[in-house]
A = this chain, B = another copy of it.
């Protein structure tokens, strides 16, 4: 019986690839791992929702079906801003959302989406991958038993749709604007009245004058909202120069996966993230061309320097307060500032100089 067992054993190792020579691998685990992902977005939300589908497809195809990602949209789980808690608690294994939504739960999650007057998409991707950004994000999320990976960039977001021109800082004072998050805090400090209004009510609020202005994303997602039909001015961006979504991972669950599936999971997330960025750029290019054709009277405007100076001053003060209050925040803010200084000097003599020389 002993001999027979050895024979079975040898057969096993040879068929399953455990013989250690260089023609087969040591892979044995063909279990299917089903991972549940909760996303902040409604079902079939364009671009953002496409990126989770792309992630699931990549994970499945690269793992030969061993990774099975089940995506629940907000229509299913009913908690678009509960992703952090649900993945932390293990109710879901994965999430797709945006880090800055969690600043009420951990103030240091704020910095990993985009910051007013901050990095562009390529600058920020370089900061995440080579400038220490991922390590800082890991430090912040590990405390919660989570890991956050880049989840797709919207590109530079437009400053928003305005009913009136902004010619000086006085024009922002008292202005009722839908502009959430840290950028809303910056606007409040210069005297604007940031308000939050559910997406479905924005069009009516802008049309009826409940608000004077709003920011949403950019042509990639603004076109379907129809704001260009009811507001004449489309302002260029300053408040979200490179909005990066996030994949969230429950680390305890992650640790149960075989090493190769862990690698596939992370790579599929990053590739889906980069893909969402170029998808956003493509969709904005197409939609902006369509909007200009159909509504040639849309006026693109940029705030005057005096307004930017006031907003930048408010932004710097708010960041300084956060850095004073929290040593981890201080290190993140300093890391971003140091990298942005170098990166922008390079961007100025490369893409910016090129673009300016071609548009004269």
| A258-280 interface code vs B (CB 8 A; 1 in, 0 out) | 11100110011011001101110
Q: Which residues does chain B contribute within 8 Å of A158, judged by CB atoms? A: 349-350
The answer to whether A126 and B281 touch across the interface, beta carbons within 8 angstroms, is yes
Which of A164-172, A197-205, A245-253, A352-360 is found at the contact surface with chain B?
A352-360
Q: Which residues does chain B contribute within 8 Å of A125, judged by CB atoms? A: 274, 277-278, 281
- CB-based nearest B residue for A58: B267
Q: Which of B15, B32, B264, B345 contacts A24 (CB 8 A)?
A: B32
Complex Cα spacing A339 to B123, Å: 24
The answer to whether A343 and B281 touch across the interface, beta carbons within 8 angstroms, is yes
- CB-based nearest B residue for A63: B260
Docked complex: A166-216 residues within 8 A CB-CB of B: none
- Tell me whether A284 is interfacial, beta carbon within 8 Å: yes
The answer to whether A130 and B278 touch across the interface, beta carbons within 8 angstroms, is yes
The answer to whether A129 and B264 touch across the interface, beta carbons within 8 angstroms, is no
- Tell me whether A302 is interfacial, beta carbon within 8 Å: yes
The answer to whether B286 and A342 touch across the interface, beta carbons within 8 angstroms, is yes
Known contacts A31-B24, A288-B349, A302-B357; A129/B16 CB under 8 A: no
The answer to whether A30 and B11 touch across the interface, beta carbons within 8 angstroms, is no
Known contacts A26-B64, A62-B62; A271/B277 CB under 8 A: no
The answer to whether A357 and B24 touch across the interface, beta carbons within 8 angstroms, is no
The answer to whether B17 and A263 touch across the interface, beta carbons within 8 angstroms, is no
Complex Cα spacing A292 to B285, Å: 36
- Tell me whether A297 is interfacial, beta carbon within 8 Å: no
Known contacts A129-B275, A288-B346, A289-B345; A354/B61 CB under 8 A: no
- Tell me whether A8 is interfacial, beta carbon within 8 Å: yes
The answer to whether B348 and A302 touch across the interface, beta carbons within 8 angstroms, is no
The answer to whether A61 and B357 touch across the interface, beta carbons within 8 angstroms, is no
The answer to whether B120 and A351 touch across the interface, beta carbons within 8 angstroms, is yes
The answer to whether B351 and A156 touch across the interface, beta carbons within 8 angstroms, is yes
- CB-based nearest B residue for A241: B354
Per the CB 8 Å criterion, the residue count for chain A at the interface is 93
Complex Cα spacing A263 to B303, Å: 46
- Tell me whether A256 is interfacial, beta carbon within 8 Å: no
- Tell me whether A91 is interfacial, beta carbon within 8 Å: no
- CB-based nearest B residue for A353: B236
Complex Cα spacing A125 to B279, Å: 9
Q: Which residues does chain B contribute within 8 Å of A64, judged by CB atoms? A: 25-27, 258-260
- Tell me whether A65 is interfacial, beta carbon within 8 Å: yes
The answer to whether B27 and A66 touch across the interface, beta carbons within 8 angstroms, is yes
Q: Shortest CB–CB separation between residue A130 and chain B, in angstroms?
A: 4
Q: Which residues does chain B contribute within 8 Å of A24, judged by CB atoms? A: 30-32
The answer to whether A285 and B126 touch across the interface, beta carbons within 8 angstroms, is yes
- Tell me whether A45 is interfacial, beta carbon within 8 Å: no
Complex Cα spacing A308 to B360, Å: 10
Q: Which residues does chain B contribute within 8 Å of A131, judged by CB atoms? A: 282
Q: Shortest CB–CB separation between residue A122 and chain B, in angstroms?
A: 5
The answer to whether A350 and B282 touch across the interface, beta carbons within 8 angstroms, is no
**22 residue pairs from A and B, CB less than 8 Å apart:** A8-B8, A16-B30, A17-B31, A61-B260, A61-B263, A62-B267, A63-B260, A156-B350, A158-B350, A219-B346, A237-B350, A264-B264, A267-B268, A270-B271, A270-B274, A281-B346, A285-B345, A289-B345, A305-B357, A308-B357, A308-B360, A348-B355
